[in-house]
């Protein structure tokens, strides 16, 4: 369906722009439309569809209506239809360190998804959690000599500051894990009642076979990822190494709460599942997060939610933003290669940082380099210059919007906006949050 929608879009594109090609080479160029010999000329095609009258006049309101009628959003190659609301769960931060470019990229994509939904007349409702009960956070707070919650609150402040700099809008729900402990206990109770969990030595474990099966992983691969992401496969209390704690029995050096199984704390995947179900009841339209969260975190989150509610699938679609690397290596504090948002926006327009993040397919892994940011800055200038032009082929406004609804195809939308200029460029600038 995605390929078809892109080909259909190609008929509306007036011409290729060699200059645009030279400033922005890359794999997404393959998505760029090519007007085929003998295909319907752009204006005639729009007139035939009733999207424009013979004079070519279509104002921006009409353009928006045309986009809304196009019917839905294509995400990850599948069409999602909405009436007027969309539930989006964005797996949020663990506030133990400053925001790096890899974190920021996910939330900029979620913000762009939300802005694109508004183009369709759909009001997005975003829940972006804060994982402030977490073993990694505990360790960082301990090193800093601060209580975990005070430490998390300070880190949260820096995160909010970086998001504001990148023009990421405030979200509707921002649950913090430490306030959802009762919901995790209810989740654990429900999973026990459903026969999907069991109690051992003060912990409640969720049976992981369904999560591993749905993720399509073999056992060895699942065990390796489980160990890498704190799943404790070696824990002898478990029936199976791939089971995970919904409720973890109390341990020295970690916060603890009372529960029917004794003192303890929520498991990571269970926290997110409890927050998502508490805010959205039985499931979500889009679940978003970094690609590295696909397994185990999102797989177990979805499996727990489905076992608890009996509603499948928990998520209609997933948006796993590609991993940001430096010189081919994943960004990590231990590797000393973190690229911080704060540093980038000090030396460059924040809109250029935002465009650098967005000017690619959202699921693609990519390498940050200063040259890439410089290129994004030049492309932003081109877009702003184009926005200052007075003439616009009216259908181009609708077409830039339509390209965004086609799997958030930012590169093609920006190419077209630069090419056509005027209202098309102003519209693209606003929708992409580059103003
Ligand atoms: Zn999560």
Tens digit of each residue's pLDDT (9 = 90 or more) over 165-181:
999 999 999 999 999 99
Those residues whose beta carbon sits under 5 angstroms from the ion ligand 1 are 91, 272
Distance 26 CA to ligand 1 centre (A): 31
Distance 390 CA to ligand 1 centre (A): 46
Residues in Cβ contact with 334 at an 8 Å cutoff, skipping those fewer than 6 apart: none
Cα torsion 193, 197, 202, 203: sign: negative
Distance 334 CA to ligand 1 centre (A): 22
Distance 310 CA to ligand 1 centre (A): 20
pLDDT band at 69 (very low <50, low <70, confident <90, very high): low
Q: Which pLDDT score, from 0 to 100, does residue 3 have?
A: 32
DSSP letter string, 30-74: GGS--PPTTPPPHHHHHHHTTSS-TT----HHHHHHHHHHH--EE
pLDDT band at 64 (very low <50, low <70, confident <90, very high): low
Q: Which pLDDT score, from 0 to 100, does residue 139 have?
A: 87
Distance 120 CA to ligand 1 centre (A): 27
pLDDT band at 336 (very low <50, low <70, confident <90, very high): confident
Distance 28 CA to ligand 1 centre (A): 29
Tens digit of each residue's pLDDT (9 = 90 or more) over 184-212:
999 999 999 999 999 999 999 999 999 99
- Asked whether the predicted pLDDT for residue 21 surpasses 50, the reply is no
Asked whether 288 and 81 are in contact (CB, 8 A), the reply is: no
Distance 408 CA to ligand 1 centre (A): 23
- Asked whether the predicted pLDDT for residue 19 surpasses 70, the reply is no
Distance 92 CA to ligand 1 centre (A): 7
Residues in Cβ contact with 37 at an 8 Å cutoff, skipping those fewer than 6 apart: none
Residues in Cβ contact with 68 at an 8 Å cutoff, skipping those fewer than 6 apart: 119, 120, 121
- Asked whether the predicted pLDDT for residue 302 surpasses 90, the reply is yes
User: Once rounded to an integer, what is the mean pLDDT over residues 318-326?
Assistant: 96
User: Once rounded to an integer, what is the mean pLDDT over residues 115-133?
Assistant: 94
pLDDT band at 8 (very low <50, low <70, confident <90, very high): very low
Cα torsion 180, 184, 189, 190: sign: positive
Instruction: Using a pLDDT cut of 90, give the percent of the chain over it.
Output: 71
Cα 140 to the chain's mean position, in Å? Answer: 26
Q: Round to whole Å and give the CA distance between 186 and 197.
A: 13
Distance 432 CA to ligand 1 centre (A): 25
Distance 259 CA to ligand 1 centre (A): 22
Distance 276 CA to ligand 1 centre (A): 9
DSSP letter string, 211-249: HHHHHT--HHHHHHHHHHTT--TT-TTSSSTT-EEEEEE
Distance 267 CA to ligand 1 centre (A): 11
Tens digit of each residue's pLDDT (9 = 90 or more) over 37-58:
333 333 343 344 444 444 334 4
> Tokens 């509306």 label which residue?
12
Residue 398: strand, helix, or coil: helix
Distance 245 CA to ligand 1 centre (A): 15
> Tokens 């410089």 label which residue?
374
Distance 66 CA to ligand 1 centre (A): 36
Asked whether 171 and 347 are in contact (CB, 8 A), the reply is: no
pLDDT band at 335 (very low <50, low <70, confident <90, very high): confident
User: Once rounded to an integer, what is the mean pLDDT over residues 250-276?
Assistant: 95
Instruction: Using a pLDDT cut of 70, give the percent of the chain over it.
Output: 84
Distance 142 CA to ligand 1 centre (A): 23
Q: Which pLDDT score, from 0 to 100, does residue 66 have?
A: 54
Beta-carbon count within 10 A of 49 CB: 14
- Asked whether the predicted pLDDT for residue 399 surpasses 80, the reply is yes
Which of residues 258 and 9 earns the better pLDDT score? 258
User: Once rounded to an integer, what is the mean pLDDT over residues 380-384?
Assistant: 98
Q: Which pLDDT score, from 0 to 100, does residue 334 have?
A: 79
Q: For residue 382, what are the CA distances in angstroms to 20, 125, 408, 427, 432?
A: 9, 33, 20, 14, 15
Q: Round to whole Å and give the CA distance between 410 and 392.
A: 19
318 has which bridge partners? Answer: 287
């Amino acid at each position: 369906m995605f390929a078809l929608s892109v080909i259909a879009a190609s008929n509306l594109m007036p011409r290729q722009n060699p200059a645009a090609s030279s400033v922005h080479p890359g794999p997404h160029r393959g998505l760029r439309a090519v007007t085929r010999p003998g295909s319907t000329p752009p204006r005639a095609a729009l007139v035939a569809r009733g999207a424009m009258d013979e004079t070519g006049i279509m104002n921006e309101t009409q353009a928006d209506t045309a986009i809304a009628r196009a019917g839905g959003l294509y995400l990850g190659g599948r069409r999602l239809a909405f009436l007027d609301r969309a539930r989006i769960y964005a797996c949020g931060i663990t506030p133990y360190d400053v925001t790096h470019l890899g974190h920021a990229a996910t939330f900029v994509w979620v913000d762009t998804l939300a802005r694109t939904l508004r183009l369709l007349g759909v009001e997005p409702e975003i829940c972006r959690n804060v994982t402030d009960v977490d073993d990694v956070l505990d360790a960082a707070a301990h090193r800093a000599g601060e209580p975990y919650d005070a430490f998390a609150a300070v880190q949260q402040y820096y995160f909010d500051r970086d998001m504001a700099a990148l023009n990421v809008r405030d979200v509707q729900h921002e649950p913090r894990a430490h306030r959802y402990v009762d919901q995790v206990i209810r989740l654990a109770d429900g999973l026990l009642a459903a026969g999907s969990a069991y109690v051992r030595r003060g912990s409640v474990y969720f049976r992981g076979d369904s999560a591993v099966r749905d993720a399509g992983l073999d056992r060895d691969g699942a065990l390796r990822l489980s160990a890498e992401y704190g799943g404790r496969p070696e824990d002898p209390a478990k029936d199976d190494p791939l089971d995970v704690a919904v409720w973890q029995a109390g341990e020295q050096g970690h916060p603890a709460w009372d529960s029917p199984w004794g003192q303890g704390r929520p498991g990571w995947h269970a926290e997110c599942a409890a927050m998502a179900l508490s805010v959205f009841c039985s499931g979500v339209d889009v679940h978003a997060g970094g690609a590295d969260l696909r397994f185990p975190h999102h797989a177990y989150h979805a499996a727990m939610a489905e076992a608890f509610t009996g509603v499948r699938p928990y998520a209609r679609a997933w948006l796993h933003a590609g991993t940001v690397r430096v010189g081919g290596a994943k960004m990590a504090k231990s590797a000393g290669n973190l690229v911080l948002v704060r540093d980038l926006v000090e030396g460059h327009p924040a809109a250029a940082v935002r465009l650098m993040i967005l000017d690619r397919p959202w699921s693609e892994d990519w390498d940050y380099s200063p040259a890439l940011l410089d290129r994004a800055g030049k492309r932003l200038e081109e877009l702003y210059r184009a926005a200052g032009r007075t003439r616009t082929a009216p259908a181009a406004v609708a077409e830039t919007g339509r390209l965004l609804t086609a799997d958030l195809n930012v590169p093609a939308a920006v190419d077209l906006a630069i090419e056509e200029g005027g209202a098309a460029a102003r519209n693209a600038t606003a929708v992409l949050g580059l103003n």
